[in-house]
Amino acid sequence: MMKKDGHVHTPYCPHGTTDQLEAYINQAIEEGFDSLTFTEHAPLPPGFKDPTPEEDSAMKLEDMDSYINDIQILKDKYRHKITINIGLEVDYIKEFEHETKVFLDQYGKFLDDSILSVHFLKIDHSYYCMDYDENTFGKMIDIAGSLQNLHQAYYNEVLHSIHSDLGNFKPKRIGHITLVNKFQKLYPVTFSTDTSVKKVIQAIKEQKLEIDYNVAGLRKKYCGETYPEESIAKLAHKQKIPLIYGSDAHSARDIGKNYTHYDQLTNSN
């Protein structure tokens, strides 16, 4: 089976490290990967204000051309050693579907492989970055009325992303579908989310999309599990939904981290 890391960030990420593109590539080669997809956070849609204090959630629109060009050069340079894909991690924001489609119509032809993710939720007329930090997450729970309400809002938004019409270049992979669990050790889930998660899995299957099997949660001190967790990933695997390993690396050293989780999962009966 081809060894692929389908979720890798770059020095174009304002909240990542300054590790250069070739550092990620060389680490991937060293780890024995056959394929690597750079999926930088796509520029946020015009009219949407980044709700994080630093306003550093995504790359700038003016960097798109050099981002694509830089990766294309390395794609050619390393073509005999590793397959490099140009991609993006695109934010799904329901009120900005049109703007997102316009962006994808412009840049989609340059992309090989991309991810569609939910990071931002609108609660009581304001947007919040759900995975920014534990304090923001706690505030979101208060405004939503309960942790259960927040979970429901998140999974509803993920469902909207799956069914959204973003045109011919809509990303084929849905990112970290249980990201709402990032702070679960601080805010334990005492209710069942099975129905919500299974709806997401079923929708992904119906739309013939892929799942980002994202191991970043294993590196987060308040999470300690993959997105999605093993039981959900096994369910998806049994249903023949493609699971694509994603390190979600924001530094070169995280390429290939916890790949054994994915290997064991996808090679089990």
For the chain, the structural domain boundaries read 4-266
Reported as a pLDDT band with limits 50, 70 and 90, residue 233 is very high
Residue 176 contacts residue 117 (beta carbons within 8 Å):
yes
Q: What percent of the chain has pLDDT over 70?
A: 100
Measured distance CA(243)–CA(38) in Å, rounded: 17
In 3D, which of 58, 63, 30 has the Cα closest to residue 45?
58
Residues shown for the chain? 269
Q: Is the peptide bond before 228 cis (omega within 30 degrees of 0)?
A: yes
pLDDT digits (tens, 9 = 90+) for 181-203: 999 999 999 999 999 999 999 99
pLDDT digits (tens, 9 = 90+) for 241-263: 999 999 999 999 999 999 999 99
Pairing of strands 115-117, 173-174: parallel
Average pLDDT, the chain: 97
Mean of pLDDT values over 49-60? 97
| pLDDT above 90 (res 47) | yes
Note the pLDDT of residue 106.
Answer: 98
Reported as a pLDDT band with limits 50, 70 and 90, residue 268 is confident
CATH superfamily, region 4-266: Metal-dependent hydrolases (3.20.20.140)
127 CB-near residues (< 8 Å, 6+ apart): 48, 49, 51, 93, 120, 121
In 3D, which of 179, 153, 157 has the Cα closest to residue 7?
179
Measured distance CA(25)–CA(75) in Å, rounded: 10
The count of other CB atoms within 10 Å of the CB of residue 54 is 9
In 3D, which of 246, 266, 265, 264 has the Cα closest to residue 256?
246
Measured distance CA(166)–CA(185) in Å, rounded: 35
Note the pLDDT of residue 1.
Answer: 79
Place of tokens 């334990």: 188
